[in-house]
Amino acid sequence: MGTTTYREAVRTALTEALVKDPRVFLMGEDVGKYGGSYAVSKGLLAEFGPERIRDTPLSESTFVGAGIGAALGGMRPIVEVMTVNFSLLALDQIVNNAATIRHMSGGQFSIPLVIRMATGAGRQLAAQHAHSLEGWYAHIPGIRIVAPATLEDARGMLWTALEDPDPVLIFEHQTLYNMEGPLADEAGAVDIDHAAIRRPGKDLSLITYGGTLGKTLQAAETLASEGIDAEVIDLRTLRPLDMATILDSVKKTHRAVIVDEGWKSGSLSAEIVARLVEHAFYELDAPLARVCSAEVPIPYPKHLEDAALPQPPAIVAAAREVVGRRG
């Protein structure tokens, strides 16, 4: 058991994949000589060479399209898009090609493509580099959406994703890259089909993912000091949602707060609320609540960025209201 960072866990996963399977290669903006915009691929060019660590032009549509073609040709490409905002420049390739070719070909062709991208706010990168748009992609059939929030998942989700015959989009929250903690040396591939209960509890369910997991766990500790025992669920996979785990938790606690860094309107949190109303309405002892980002482009100034994002005090306040206690 050693100590590592989220960044190093992702790099280890990339290295393992490149060593294990000669069909795997990494491509994207600045992944080679520069070592990646978040230093995730630092050193990989020297180790594996330019054939397998490929710097691309600043054209997301082009290199995501090249990744789709490589996957069709039998390779196992890992495409890195610098931020989720920039992925919108490849939306046609992702939504109209990668997500649909299996279905339009009657199952004759599959797209074993992995696309990694940084998401979320908290590092003062302003509105064109800091939104949480993974909920948009979770709307699209034909792709799997995962959001590693722990060192184990940062280390282990990549290989599982590479074994999937269909496209997998991995959303790595920008604030997590420096997260440090213990990780077993033998840590390997992890399940990407099921949510995880990160903290058991009996009074309410706090449902979250990615960059807000740490804030939600912090809020749960505050609530515990007030005698409120919160269960924290890490969704891990946003499409397909593991509703069985969510429903089991809510049927136990009878209350829920969904914490989602996306905007509230048309969000993943809205989808979870709708499904809970459809499948567990009579299990609820209180109205469902959501803590989401403010309905504004993410601001640049630190105090405004913090105010726009879900924070532990807001999660605590929502939980108190759901259980009928006001601070």
Annotated active-site residue in 8, 29, 60, 271: 60
- Sequence-distant (6+) residues with CB within 8 A of 298 are 121, 126, 127, 130, 131, 305, 308, 309
Question: Could you count the other beta carbons within 10 Å of the beta carbon of residue 41?
Answer: 26
Helix (H) or strand (E) holding 17, with range, is helix 6-20
User: Which residue type is seen at 44?
Assistant: L
Q: Is 308 helix (H, G, I), strand (E, B) or coil?
A: helix
Token couple for 326: 């006001």
Question: Could you count the other beta carbons within 10 Å of the beta carbon of residue 75?
Answer: 16
Cα three-residue angle 67-99-155, rounded to 5 degrees: 60
CB 201 within 8 A of CB 147: no
Phi/psi of residue 277, each to 5°? -65, -40
Catalytic-residue membership of 60: yes
Annotated active-site residue in 8, 29, 80, 129: 129
Catalytic-residue membership of 278: no
The b-or-e profile of 288-308 (16+ CB within 10 A means b, else e) is: bbbbbbeeeebbeeeeebeeb
Question: Could you count the other beta carbons within 10 Å of the beta carbon of residue 213?
Answer: 27
Active site residues: 60, 129
